[in-house]
Amino acid sequence: MKIPFLRFDAMHAPLKAAFQEALAEVLDSHAFVLGPQVASFENAWAGYCGARHAIGVGNGLDALHLALRALRIGPGDEVIVPANTYIATVLAVSYTGATPVLAEPSARTANLDPESFAAAITSRTRAVIPVHLYGQPCEMGAILDTARRLGIHVIEDNAQAQGATYLGRRTGSFGTVNATSFYPGKNIGALGDGGALTTDDDELARQLRIWRNYGSEVKYYNRVQGYNSRLDELQAAFLAIKLRHLDAWNAERRRLAGRYQSALAGTGDLILPAVAEGAEPVWHLYVIRTGRRDDLQRYLADRGIGTLIHYPVPPHLQEAYRDQGWREGQFPLTEKMAATSLSLPMYPGLRDDEQDAVVEAIQSFFR
């Protein structure tokens, strides 16, 4: 049996005719950039997240970057970012000239620890970017309390948690402005690149539309030195189709996560994912931790089971950040997670017998 880490067919095959119809519609409309498909998907996405506005952009990294630019964050400012994240979160801060300040995760949830966030605040801190990693909502209550008290902007990185809730409210609706990615492998992904911002602030939404479109509100008149980062009409049309299925897909991920949680409990030295109080995750990834990670990954690969590591090298140890002054040992919890984490197959379309085979292989490894 071959069990890949990710497969799209169960999600995409039933939608193929709808995708083809959407392609024909865009083709015939002759509107390819910032037309009716983007406007319509932005409305649907804002409604889904429970935000007043959504702004479609080129990808998730641009969404984070544009959020920071529109908030006028730049050189001399500090932005607090979890040390345990995908590098995009850190890069977005670097692009603006502001300083990324890393904070350790909670050992339990792997997400930004509200206490290490509070400890990283200085007089220069302008924003914090909580990342709902693996689809697990951060402890937003404590993070928002601290941020509000000190006038710090919250920018959620909701790339991995589309549809998740914290205290009954969707992630992507808590911050001043929030970013998500429609990279194909996300819980709702485009058939290519895409991203979006969400905000309740009318003026900020207007600014974000200007920043994503060359700094222009009126064609050929430029208010700021903006960017070209727009969600494509075609991708917006595909995303509108997929959005109708997101809740069902997330429900299937929850079911699969429940099966892993009960089947793997007490196996070897495994640490299974923990859910923060008040959080309803969407299991973008199902990440286990073990001191024998590399051996387990090889053992599963030998049996045709695909796994990935999210992420093998944390941002502060990447070659790209050699000159930032971060050193090995500075974020020990993050480094430990990088050394012990393993992501198992988790997607709508993973069959129960396949998941049973993954569980059985892991149990036999530890026997």
Ligand X SMILES: *Cc1c(COP(=O)(O)O)cnc(C)c1O
Give the residue with the Cβ less far from ligand X, 235 or 340: 235
SS (H, E, C) 206-253: HHHHHHHECCEEECCEECCCCCECCCEHHHHHHHHHHHCCHHHHHHHH
Give the residue with the Cβ less far from ligand X, 193 or 232: 193
Tell me how far apart the alpha carbons of residues 4 and 241 are, in angstroms, rounded to a whole number: 25
CB of 348 to ligand X, least distance (A): 18
Using CB under 6 A as the binding rule, the residues of this chain from 292 to 331 that contact ligand X are: none
**Nearest C-alpha neighbor of 112 from the set 166, 189, 61:** 166
Asked if 51 and 197 touch (Cβ cutoff 8 Å), the reply is: no
Give the residue with the Cβ less far from ligand X, 60 or 114: 60
Tell me how far apart the alpha carbons of residues 67 and 83 are, in angstroms, rounded to a whole number: 20
**Nearest C-alpha neighbor of 51 from the set 136, 163, 224, 172:** 172
Q: Which stretch binds ligand X (CB under 6 A): 55-63, 203-211, 239-247, 255-263?
A: 55-63
CB of 110 to ligand X, least distance (A): 12
- DSSP 8-state class, residue 176: S
Q: Which stretch binds ligand X (CB under 6 A): 69-77, 83-91, 167-175, 196-204?
A: 83-91
Q: What is the DSSP string of 70-96?
A: HTT--TT-EEEEESSS-HHHHHHHHHH
**Is residue 236 near ligand X by the rule CB under 6 A?**
no
Give the residue with the Cβ less far from ligand X, 77 or 193: 193
CB of 295 to ligand X, least distance (A): 27
Q: In the set 80, 83, 110, 131, which binds ligand X (CB under 6 A)?
A: 131
Residue 94, sorted as left (phi over 0), alpha (psi -120 to 50) or beta, turns out to be alpha
- DSSP 8-state class, residue 31: -
Extract the tokens encoding 249: 């897909």
Site string for ligand X, 86-125 (x = CB under 6 A): x-xx------------------------------------
Using CB under 6 A as the binding rule, the residues of this chain from 148 to 187 that contact ligand X are: 157, 159-160, 181, 183
Report the relative pairing of strands 178-181 and 341-344 from DSSP bridges.
Answer: unpaired
Neighbours of 26 (CB within 10 A): 21
**Is residue 281 near ligand X by the rule CB under 6 A?**
no
Tell me how far apart the alpha carbons of residues 192 and 184 are, in angstroms, rounded to a whole number: 6
Asked if 282 and 164 touch (Cβ cutoff 8 Å), the reply is: yes
Q: In the set 195, 314, 315, 348, which binds ligand X (CB under 6 A)?
A: 195
Question: Rounded to a whole number, what is the largest CA-CA distance in the chain?
Answer: 68
Q: Which stretch binds ligand X (CB under 6 A): 58-66, 162-170, 226-234, 292-300?
A: 58-66
**Is residue 208 near ligand X by the rule CB under 6 A?**
no
Give the residue with the Cβ less far from ligand X, 160 or 171: 160
Q: Which stretch binds ligand X (CB under 6 A): 82-90, 216-224, 230-238, 260-268?
A: 82-90
**Is residue 347 near ligand X by the rule CB under 6 A?**
no
Give the residue with the Cβ less far from ligand X, 111 or 213: 111
Q: Which residues face 288 on adjacent strands?
A: 342
CB-based closest residue to ligand X: 60
* Residues at the site binding ligand X, with contacts judged by CB under 6 A: 59-61, 85-86, 88-89, 131, 157, 159-160, 181, 183, 193, 195
